């Protein structure tokens, strides 16, 4: 007996911790595992925000706001948006991504190239070509007569025509470098005296 207390547990009680404490420990462990996963996820997002790698191996600078937009979508839309994102960066390594209209991912190089907009049942890729880019494979699904942009609609489970979409991106980039579709589309003004 030390200080009036016995060092042995009272009769009927073992030295092991009560079940409540064991449950608290498992909850604490679960919390720590979840916290570690969240931190690890944040680190991966930050690393991806610094440099992402395409299937073709070309690195590009990712905008964390675009990452956040894509991560907030259902899994099938995330796959489509990430795939289109990789294709547009693969079209030209100088493409920059940003957010416009408060939340919509845009890809730009001397002008808008395209934008992503996820809807309830599909993803729209808005192509800013002024309707002058050829579409021999028929990937344009809407906006055929639009004067600013046309749309490629991508639905869950449908294949993406990578080659045709990349050709469209490259054509838009070439048009942007030549002054933009507005300049290409409008006839040159006659010089007056």
- pLDDT tens digits along 97-135: 999 988 999 999 989 999 999 999 999 999 988 677 778
- End-to-end Cα spacing for the chain: 115
Q: Tell me the average pLDDT of the chain.
A: 78
Gap between the Cα atoms of 123 and 65, Å rounded: 18
- Name the residue with tokens 């191996």: 57
Count up the domains in the chain and report the number: 1
Residue 107 lies in a domain: yes
pLDDT of residue 47: 46
117 vs 123: CA distance, rounded Å: 6
Q: What is the CATH number of the domain that holds 65?
A: 3.90.1150.200
Question: Rounded CA gap, 30 and 84, in Å?
Answer: 36
Contacts of 133-137 with C-beta under 8 Å, sequence gap 24+, read 133/168, 133/171, 133/172, 133/175, 134/171, 135/164, 135/168, 136/164, 137/161, 137/164
Q: Which pLDDT value is given to residue 75?
A: 96
Q: How far apart are the C-alpha atoms of 170 and 190, rounded to whole Å?
A: 30
Cα gap 80→115, rounded to integer Å: 13
pLDDT band per the 50, 70, 90 thresholds, residue 167: very high
**What does the pLDDT average to over 13-24?**
54
Confidence tier at 46 by pLDDT (50, 70, 90): very low
Range of the domain at 63: 51-179
In a domain, 2, yes or no: no
Q: How much is the pLDDT for 94?
A: 93
* pLDDT digits 0-9 by tens, 68-96: 999 999 999 999 999 999 999 999 999 99
- The whole-angstrom separation of Cα 89 and Cα 116 is 14
Residue 56 lies in a domain: yes
C-alpha dihedral, 167 to 169 to 170 to 173, nearest 10°? 160
pLDDT above 90 for 16: no
pLDDT at 163 over 90: yes
Asked if residue 27 is part of any domain, the answer here is no
Least confident of 3-12, 48-57, 107-116: 48-57
């Amino acid at each position: 007996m030390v200080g009036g207390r016995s060092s042995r547990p009272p009769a009927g009680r073992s030295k092991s911790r009560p079940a409540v404490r064991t449950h608290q420990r498992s909850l604490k462990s679960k919390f720590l595992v979840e916290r570690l996963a969240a931190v690890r996820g944040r680190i991966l997002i930050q690393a991806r925000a610094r440099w992402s790698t395409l299937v073709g191996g070309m690195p590009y600078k990712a905008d964390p706001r675009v990452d956040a937009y894509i991560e907030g979508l259902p899994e099938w839309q995330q796959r489509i948006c990430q795939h289109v994102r990789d294709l547009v960066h693969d079209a030209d390594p100088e493409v920059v991504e940003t957010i416009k209209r408060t939340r919509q991912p845009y890809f730009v190089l001397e002008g808008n190239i395209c934008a992503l907009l996820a809807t309830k049942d599909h993803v729209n890729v808005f192509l800013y070509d002024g309707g002058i880019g050829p579409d021999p494979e028929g990937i344009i699904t809407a906006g055929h007569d639009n004067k600013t942009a046309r749309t490629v609609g991508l639905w869950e489970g449908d294949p993406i025509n990578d080659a045709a979409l990349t050709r469209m991106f490259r054509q838009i980039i070439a048009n942007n470098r030549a002054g933009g579709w507005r300049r290409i589309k409008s006839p040159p003004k006659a010089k007056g005296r």
